[in-house]
Structure 1
């Protein structure tokens, strides 16, 4: 595949900025992005940020409505490096874990798993119920990666932005992409 592309889903969990910053980092890395945002995420965006939908969409290479089941990313024949859902709500996690494709995010995630491509879910909820944990286990057993956005304090983040960048840098490591935002453990000593 000559074009490096990643599907990005932003679902309705708290942490809308993870999705926005992910799009910015992928743009800096010259990665083509295919974005879908859930309806609940639009509500979260209004509560957590001053962003407008048009501004967020402008960060992506391509955007799709959450109900567009004919979008490019709904097909396994559309090649990507994989998919990241940032943040990932427990509802979206449950849909992915059970193979339900009621939205484009869960359909694109299902396609990513069936094609054996990396799927990373920034599961954003706490505390977890047994259902949440079982869904995380199911996704993991299918080959997905559940990566709750937990800050790494050894990096001594000076701001919320630094914590977000470190988390997303570690997520991008899973795709062998380095955005130079990770303060790596003991690397400065090497």
Structure 2
């Protein structure tokens, strides 16, 4: 049975709120139904890092679920989807997912994603990392999750912060078999969608 073309998007309180917002925009462009859930801490980060209002972010999602609505569809394994991305993922959210302690809809949805053996991608944002962080990342990886920190690809020669964000999200969407056209691929022409500069890189250029 083919899963519906929809993805759960969690935004936690880690720095990098723009990753979640931009992910919603890319999913809309790809025709993928998005189900958004934000933690309370995410709304604080939004206020510090951006000029967005909550309504602006919600408007970019196909569906929005409150973090305390544990009766939402995405809290059930019977809710079919392609998987889930937490962008960005705080260390607290990571710890809850690693331990299976679901105190909110966001971490419950992540737990459901793992138990149903669907792709769960966590864009973990923290540095430096403690041993507790590393052990939690290991635990999630052993359960089938994917830790994908938003690391910039300098071979892409990004000219702006938006290019760096788009490249990271393009690589995340690759994990679901979705091509947003924003990731510069080694030895290939520069992407057209979401690009405002840069070119393909080769080993010779980087030597």
TM-score by length of 2: 0.90
* Structure of greater Rg: 2
Shift of 1:3: 3.1
The answer to which structure, 1 or 2, has the higher relative contact order (CA under 8 A, 6+ apart) is: 1
CA distance in 1, matches of 2:6, 2:71: 18
Mark the runs of 5 or more structure 1 residues left unpaired by the alignment: none
CA distance in 1, matches of 2:72, 2:35: 10
Residue in 1 that maps onto 2:17: 16
| Segments ≥4 residues shifted beyond 3 Å | none
> Deviations along 1:23-55, whole A, 9 cap, x unmatched?
000000000000000000000000000001001
Kept in 1, the 8 Å contact 2:166–2:183? The answer is: yes
Residue in 2 that maps onto 1:145: 146
Shift of 1:2: 6.4
Alignment of 1:78-93 (within 5 A): 78-93=79-94
Residue in 2 that maps onto 1:98: 99
Mark the runs of 5 or more structure 2 residues left unpaired by the alignment: 190-199, 203-207
Residue in 2 that maps onto 1:156: 157
Please provide the CA RMSD for this pair. Answer: 1.2
TM-score by length of 1: 0.98
> Deviations along 1:108-146, whole A, 9 cap, x unmatched?
000000000000000001000000000000000000000
CA distance in 2, matches of 1:73, 1:6: 10
Residue in 1 that maps onto 2:42: 41
Query: Number of matched residues?
Result: 190
SS at match of 1:20: helix
Structure 1 position 111 matched with structure 2 position 108 = no
